[in-house]
Structure 1
Amino acid sequence: MIDQTTIPTPVEVHGADGTAPGTPRFSFRPVDPAADAELLHSWVSTERAHFWGLTGASVEQVRTEHERIAADPHHHALLARDERRGGTPAFLLETYDPAHSVLAGRYAGRHGDAGLHLLLPAPGSADPGNPVTTGFGDPGAADRAGGTESGYSAAAMEASLEHLFADPAVLRVVVEPDARNSAIQALNARCGFRPVERLDLPSADGSPAKTAQLSFCTRSDFAAATGRPADTVAHLSPVRWATANRHLLAKALAEFSHERLLEAVFRDGTWQLDGPGVRYRFQARRYALDHWDIDAASLRCEERAGHPGEAREGGAAAGVGRPGDVDPGPDAGWAPAVPDVQRFVTAFRDVLGLSAAQLPVYLEEIGSTLASHCYKQLHAVATAAELAAGTGDAVADFQRIEAAMTEGHPCFVANNGRLGLGTDDYLELAPETGSALPLEWVAAHVSRTRFTAVDGLDLDGLLEAELGPELRSAFRTRLERACEETGLDPADFLPLPVHPWQWRHRLSVTFAADVATGHLVHLGATEDLYQPQQSIRTFFNRSAPERHYVKTALSVLNMGFLRGLSAEYMDATPAINDWLQGVFAADPELDPGRVQLLREVAAVGYANPLFHAATERDSAYRKMLAALWRESPAPRIGPGEQLATMASLLHTDADGASLAAAYIRCSGLEATVWLERYLDAYLVPIVHCLVRHDLVFMPHGENVILVLRDGAPERVLLKDLAEEVAVLGDRTDLPPGVERLRAEVAPEDHGLSILTDIVDCFLRFLAPLLEREGLVTEDRFWSVVAERLTDYRARHPETAERFDALRLLEPTFRLSCLNRLQLRNNRQMVDLTDPAGSLAYAGDLDNPLSGR
């Protein structure tokens, strides 16, 4: 937020400023309300500074205002000093957090936003005791003391932005001068600010109400405008990189041990893992399901002398014995080394089964995951208690939690690969940035495109609801103009949204022929802003939350797949959702008071004829342009209710406190009662669908949205339906168009959809979190889970035999390994034509539900 109404017209900046080479011209110190009140009064009490709201104020009033600012943790006032003039006070810089200002809720904020106020006083007023000789003199004409130095405004603004961007947590500076102030807008543009929209802002902190010109300046924008290096990787510091490596190495050791790729031994009070030229020692606690909870701070890495590759702590040869020394024992020749996940993966490449082709790609995914963790260390600063408490705005809180999550998929080690995104792409598109951006739209010729929708919804109705009449009319006009060049009929086109990255990097290049011939027409961007979700290619509408989620194709490699979207699969998506809705509506056990579906109501897919003919069914080239619209949860919630994806329950803040535990405390319920309500809404309906309908979901954390009230689960909303559901066997009749859901899975493996996807891949992580915070013991946790299942069985004696056939309560079950799949082929983890046949198993796990 900025109101820099008191600046001279910007002119050219002089190259030399009289300071020593490399010395910044301006320095900054906090305003001292008592000592600086008189000076600041001379700057802000004039009519020239009327937008600061202190015109005619007394010195005491100015002092009081700055005492208020000094007491506000989200607002800071700094006095700039001109080091070229011996530290003379030069101008006032105020910075603040827009989320705690009049801008809150009025613009699409994101992590790393910082607001800015800048007040440049009138020439000659910087030192009220000597207003002439200490004015902003021209270095080329010192005799004009008191005049305006050429380029002074730009120099002050650049110094202010440089000061803000020196904080690596600041990614974008937000300003909002009065819309009538053309001079400040010109200066803003010169320093890299991009105008976004006009806002009517109420008065705040004494400032008058105004119509403001909202503008943003990113690190890249500032660099491009001023010729500086683009510092878009400021989050990659040595300290944060070391922290990220410890965190991810602990996870790698835990999950690879869980999947029985590694086997540490307990020796002398610590766990030890030996590898080729390296060894690792750590403290860990082991839980049910062979779950390892490794203390990242306890990790000690060592490298054998002469073995290349790992950086050492304390110098290149720290701890290495010298010829002639007495052999100190089994630790001779080992030197401490810094934890390094990429080095770990390289050392254990054979044990992990990484081929020569897979290794570098997997290392790149690990590097990207580490980089994202560094970013999250800076920006995921809200505590679990704060996230659980919320602000009273259910939609904003829902998206705040979505951006605050730090871990990603709990099982996968390389879970934030996102290969294909550059640094600017990352800051714009990664879910953890909390960004909101417009989606691009294209029009695709019907000869290559198919639109389908659920019963009762047509294309016109969807487009009118999603775009509104004005934008839809503008898109229609652009299409008509494009068709004038090609001779194609505008009536023969289907509009659809595309991911911004996909348009810039893939469609406009790979499908250039389609663009050139007019079969694919770029229509432009939406007015609505959309926030990327944890699934990265799905967007939530922040401008109009009642409008649909939009899921798009994204040809970026992440967690074992290029995240495309199959045009062929889109064809049947609405029919599958109609069928599922019918199943739920006809089954009393699937009470909408406990569980509901977020339907995918419409879908569109584009088949490029050239690539379609040149590729096989599962090719990524057939998944480059498609989209679907999914119902939003926003209209489903009532007053006082909250939303959060189930994945967020596993989120832990910087102090290790979990969101799940925070919700339990907010609810005031006993932990076991909270668990029962959660399991009755989530686990029991999923089990019932399998028992009664042979219907399995992929019910991982991102595919389930919790509806809570005062932290207690009320019901769940299931999403991502058409691509991630299946019907096992042939007991259930499927209508035409839905037949592709049928999957042939051995009857003895039907229960693994529950035991693997829910018990091992989610509840295994939740139980230790709650025990660690003293809410419920692990043993009691699993007893509650088993009780909810046995209670379900008792309520439905007619299906008891089918329930028992799933063997959910048997002593053991097969261990299905997700990381093994990614390590085997991190570009195509599973053969989608035979997903069950692609799975990797590693023996059996003891079932904590057995015998309870």
Structure 2
Amino acid sequence: MTTQTYTFRSAQLPADAELLHSWIATEHARFWGMPTASVAEIQQAYAPLVEAAEYHVLIAEDAEGPQFLVELYDPTNSPLAGRYPYVRGDLGLHFLAPQPQAPEPGFTLEAMTAALGYAFAQPGTERVVVEPDIRNKAIQALNSRVGFAPVGPVELLEEDGSTKHALLSICTRADFERVTGTSTGAAHLTPARWATANRHVLAKAIGEFGHERLLEPVALDDGRFRIDSPTERYDFAAGRYLLNHWIVDPASIRHETLIDGHWTEASVNVLDFITSFAERLTLREEQLPTYLEELNSTLAGHCYKQLHADHSSADLAEFSGDAASAFQRIEAAMTEGHPCFVANNGRMGIGRTDYLRYAPETGSAIKLGWLAAHHDAAEFSTMDSLSYEQLLETELGPAERARLEGILGTALLGTSRSIEDYLLMPVHPWQWENRLSTTFANDIANQDLIYLGATQDYYQPQQSIRTFFNRSNPTRHYVKTAMSILNMGFMRGLSADYMKVTPAINQWLGELFDADPYLAKAPVGLLREVAAVGYRNRQFEAATKPSAAQRKMLAALWRESPVHMLAEGETLATMASLLHVDHEGRSFAGALIRRSGQEPEQWVSDYLDAYLVPLVHCLAAYDLAFMPHGENVILVLRDGAISKALMKDLGEEIAVLSDRVHLPEEIRRVRTGGDPVLSIFTDVFDSFFRFLAPLLDAEGLLTEETFWSIVSDRLLSYRRDNPQFAEHFDALGLFAETFPLSCLNRLQLRNNQQMLDLTDQSGGLLYAGDLENPLILRESLVV
């Protein structure tokens, strides 16, 4: 077969009507449903498709003329809408190769490969979706030869009112490349996007390193600022805000280098910047290369996000579709990652194909793998109200569980072991393929671990990358898995030791919330981690300390989904999304305020009553601290207004900071030392409100001073309404003039393999002086 080069042009009417008629009005194309149509009928049917912006009718040509037909379309504007778990980057495809008089062997496969290659070359395409008639076995066989995998039968309502019985199949970019041997390259990495990404990340680096007092920008006479060294200098425009917050204008950055005694303009590259100022940034020689790797990955991720920045904040705030789909659309649309960390998308160990499959910004939908783990090495734990049998009933269902156990039973034939000797547990596909299948080879060979394959539900990775939301059955639990990649100073594993008592911690916390009169009525709730399973490798347990990565390679937990908690008309968004800024420079928080119709002051007050005030109550009443960063809070909204805040990631991250409250013996690990107010000053004020207040100010919704005045008012209102906790409230020192500046980037720069010992997190923190407390804006606010 000779490989042909095809060009694709848009069909023109009426010029191409005869050509389309000769291809479509045939018995060969009977599944297109128009075998007896006239030329006029073909033209009438195709006229609206040719004119539609979201539909592309393409004719593929070679040197000999037109050869085949390709139609590309947006699945969300087609009969497929709502009929399958759509993810961002999906592109629908119809393909028709006419029946030639003298067929050339291999032509159809070659044409389909070219069509699919063209589809993947379109900006933003990561998966191609087809839905041929379920009776069309020939096209289904062809689809499989270029990488399509069947999802299942689907009934589609056609425009004429008829129902099409189709076989939905999906081809990922990785599967197309693997099956056909074709490379589609890295479409998101272009010089223009790379330049934009460098300016964006460098602006953040200057701002955050300035905030943490690693760099001290000097004001120039023209209102700009400068950071320099003997041979390099960077000038830029920036805004200064409370809490020593810098917002650097990426487009304003100018880099000059000293060459032969003259300052010469040079390119803006954040990797060069970090290398030049490494010593000032406290980066040791052995740390610098890994940090540059993390920055490269962060830059590449930003390029991808630029390519897929197809939702404005206003669009997202409409919450179109069902609540689960809108929630996950927002989750995938966020572009920044952690607001404080500069290298926040390192994900060391993830390659290009893995990135497209597993990164949250791709909005991918994957199937989780499942393992059978022998009871001698695995341990399942759960809340009192849930059993192992009940969990599998809700998460797998009888048929799927029977299928997995059938695979297990077959694997055990001829051995003395039985199905009852094993626990079933989910596993991240990357973890199985890249770590467990080799590192735990001993366990696999001895049948302590048996891989059972993937289950049917599709899951979408969340911002934490190792946590998944069930797209097929949204009321089923989140699943959090171990993933041995390095990201933001930690290996993202899960400890079997920690999993053992995680459900008990969540049960205790849920009971505390239910019994507390204030929390029971407050607009706050919990997403509890209801069950967990951990696997222990005997040899690694004997050879390592508890913090070793090998002890965190295989564990999972199940967390409640917020979907079943929603009332009619309520929607969901992670709190981190409030800081999202779209390609037009507008924030999602601002879009929600405008959508709500509330006065900005009222919207912020409601938000604080759902989020901040309950956190302070837990400290005042119990010395109970959360890790309340943006990704650990899910907001429940109605028409853009805040209804409730749901706290999550509880088992590993809550802390009881004194002996004021009784703890069951099994969960005593949550009792730690530390300054209770730092969970407010550092995790809330400095790590979240520092970013939120300037966004609202920039959009003219609320001045920064007004924002902090509302924060003060809500806190003082809580103190006034709860006099029984006034003494403990005052002891928190929330209205002290200053508080310590705890530095996150300094931790990552010090040790980007493990920023902190998780058993003593407060003991390893780094500080850089104090910040002025923004609550001290008026004398009347002082308690």
1:612 deviates by 0.5
Q: Report what 2:109 is aligned to.
A: 154
**Closer, same or farther in 2 for the Cα pair 1:550/1:219, shift >3 Å?**
closer
Matched, 1:246 2:172: no
> Could you tell me how far apart the structure 2 residues matched to 1:168 and 1:591 are?
49
Q: Where does 1:701-780 land on structure 2 (aligned, <5 Å)?
A: 701-745=630-674, 749-780=675-706
Q: Which runs of 5+ in 2 are unaligned?
A: none
SS at the partner of 2:166?
A: strand
> Could you tell me how far apart the structure 2 residues matched to 1:489 and 1:203 are?
47
Q: Report what 1:348 is aligned to.
A: 277
> Could you tell me how far apart the structure 2 residues matched to 1:424 and 1:348 are?
33
1:264 deviates by 0.8
Q: Report what 2:768 is aligned to.
A: 842
Q: Report what 1:9 is aligned to.
A: none
Q: Where does 1:136-535 land on structure 2 (aligned, <5 Å)?
A: 146-190=101-145, 192-206=146-160, 209-228=163-182, 230-269=183-222, 270-275=224-229, 277-305=231-259, 333-535=262-464
Equivalent pair of 1:220/1:232 in contact (CA under 8 Å)? no
Aligned partner letter, 1:97: D
1:656 deviates by 1.0
> Could you tell me how far apart the structure 1 residues matched to 2:111 and 2:729 are?
72
SS at the partner of 2:568?
A: coil
1:205 deviates by 4.1
1:466 deviates by 0.8
1:278 deviates by 1.6
> Could you tell me how far apart the structure 1 residues matched to 2:419 and 2:110 are?
52
SS at the partner of 2:9?
A: strand
**Closer, same or farther in 2 for the Cα pair 1:667/1:44, shift >3 Å?**
same
> Could you tell me how far apart the structure 2 residues matched to 1:389 and 1:71 are?
27
Residue-by-residue CA offset, 1:630-675 (whole Å, 9 max, x unaligned): 1110100011111000001111111111110000010000111000
1:100 deviates by 2.0
Equivalent pair of 2:207/2:245 in contact (CA under 8 Å)? yes
Q: Report what 1:65 is aligned to.
A: 45
SS at the partner of 1:335?
A: strand
Equivalent pair of 1:220/1:231 in contact (CA under 8 Å)? no
> Could you tell me how far apart the structure 1 residues matched to 2:124 and 2:163 are?
30
Aligned partner letter, 1:32: Q
Q: State the Cα RMSD in Å.
A: 1.7
State the number of aligned residues.
Answer: 777
Matched, 1:103 2:58: no
Structure 1 residue corresponding to 2:2, chosen from 8, 14, 34: 14
Aligned partner letter, 2:124: A
**Closer, same or farther in 2 for the Cα pair 1:276/1:509, shift >3 Å?**
farther
> Could you tell me how far apart the structure 1 residues matched to 2:422 and 2:350 are?
30
Aligned partner letter, 2:129: V
> Could you tell me how far apart the structure 2 residues matched to 1:61 and 1:179 are?
25
> Could you tell me how far apart the structure 2 residues matched to 1:56 and 1:488 are?
63
1:348 deviates by 1.0
Q: Report what 1:579 is aligned to.
A: 508
Residue-by-residue CA offset, 1:665-705 (whole Å, 9 max, x unaligned): 10000111000011000000011000101000000011100
Structure 2 residue corresponding to 1:36, chosen from 16, 28, 53: 16
1:69 deviates by 1.4
**Closer, same or farther in 2 for the Cα pair 1:57/1:345, shift >3 Å?**
same
Matched, 1:666 2:654: no
1:375 deviates by 0.8
Equivalent pair of 1:548/1:632 in contact (CA under 8 Å)? yes
1:175 deviates by 1.6
Aligned-pair identity in percent equals: 57
Matched, 1:544 2:473: yes
> Could you tell me how far apart the structure 1 residues matched to 2:527 and 2:475 are?
13
Equivalent pair of 1:502/1:555 in contact (CA under 8 Å)? yes
Aligned partner letter, 1:696: A
Aligned partner letter, 1:107: Y
> Could you tell me how far apart the structure 1 residues matched to 2:340 and 2:476 are?
32
Which range is displaced more, 263-272 or 761-770? 263-272
> Could you tell me how far apart the structure 2 residues matched to 1:274 and 1:612 are?
50
> Could you tell me how far apart the structure 2 residues matched to 1:731 and 1:596 are?
22
1:200 deviates by 2.4
SS at the partner of 2:14?
A: helix
> Could you tell me how far apart the structure 2 residues matched to 1:798 and 1:181 are?
73
Aligned partner letter, 1:194: F
Aligned partner letter, 1:767: A
SS at the partner of 2:519?
A: coil
Q: TM-score, normalised by structure 2?
A: 0.97
> Could you tell me how far apart the structure 2 residues matched to 1:35 and 1:518 are?
66
Structure 2 residue corresponding to 1:825, chosen from 751, 756, 766: 751
> Could you tell me how far apart the structure 2 residues matched to 1:776 and 1:35 are?
57
Matched, 1:651 2:580: yes
Which range is displaced more, 613-622 or 178-187? 178-187
Q: Report what 1:325 is aligned to.
A: none
1:225 deviates by 3.6
> Could you tell me how far apart the structure 2 residues matched to 1:352 and 1:206 are?
65
1:174 deviates by 1.7
> Could you tell me how far apart the structure 1 residues matched to 2:263 and 2:408 are?
69
SS at the partner of 1:289?
A: coil
> Could you tell me how far apart the structure 1 residues matched to 2:435 and 2:558 are?
22
1:196 deviates by 1.9
Structure 2 residue corresponding to 1:801, chosen from 718, 727, 745: 727
Residue-by-residue CA offset, 1:377-411 (whole Å, 9 max, x unaligned): 11131110010101141000001111111010000
Equivalent pair of 1:301/1:339 in contact (CA under 8 Å)? yes
1:243 deviates by 0.8
Q: Where does 1:558-637 land on structure 2 (aligned, <5 Å)?
A: 558-591=487-520, 594-637=523-566
1:472 deviates by 1.0
1:790 deviates by 0.7
**Closer, same or farther in 2 for the Cα pair 1:147/1:207, shift >3 Å?**
farther
SS at the partner of 2:29?
A: helix
Residue-by-residue CA offset, 1:88-135 (whole Å, 9 max, x unaligned): 333222111122221222223322221111223343xxxxxxxxxxxx
Which protein has the larger Cα radius of gyration, Structure 1 or Structure 2? 1
> Could you tell me how far apart the structure 2 residues matched to 1:333 and 1:488 are?
78
Q: Report what 1:120 is aligned to.
A: 97
Aligned partner letter, 1:14: T
1:732 deviates by 1.5
1:592 deviates by 5.2
Aligned partner letter, 2:433: R
1:290 deviates by 0.6
Equivalent pair of 1:488/1:518 in contact (CA under 8 Å)? no
> Could you tell me how far apart the structure 2 residues matched to 1:607 and 1:572 are?
15
1:419 deviates by 0.5
Equivalent pair of 2:74/2:92 in contact (CA under 8 Å)? yes
> Could you tell me how far apart the structure 2 residues matched to 1:220 and 1:444 are?
30
1:523 deviates by 1.8
Which range is displaced more, 96-105 or 726-735? 96-105
Q: Report what 2:56 is aligned to.
A: 76
SS at the partner of 1:202?
A: strand
1:350 deviates by 0.6
Equivalent pair of 1:195/1:213 in contact (CA under 8 Å)? no
1:232 deviates by 4.5
**Closer, same or farther in 2 for the Cα pair 1:575/1:587, shift >3 Å?**
same
Which range is displaced more, 446-455 or 473-482? 473-482
Residue-by-residue CA offset, 1:47-101 (whole Å, 9 max, x unaligned): 443333444444344333333113322111112223x22xx33322211112222
Equivalent pair of 2:198/2:269 in contact (CA under 8 Å)? yes
> Could you tell me how far apart the structure 2 residues matched to 1:104 and 1:358 are?
48
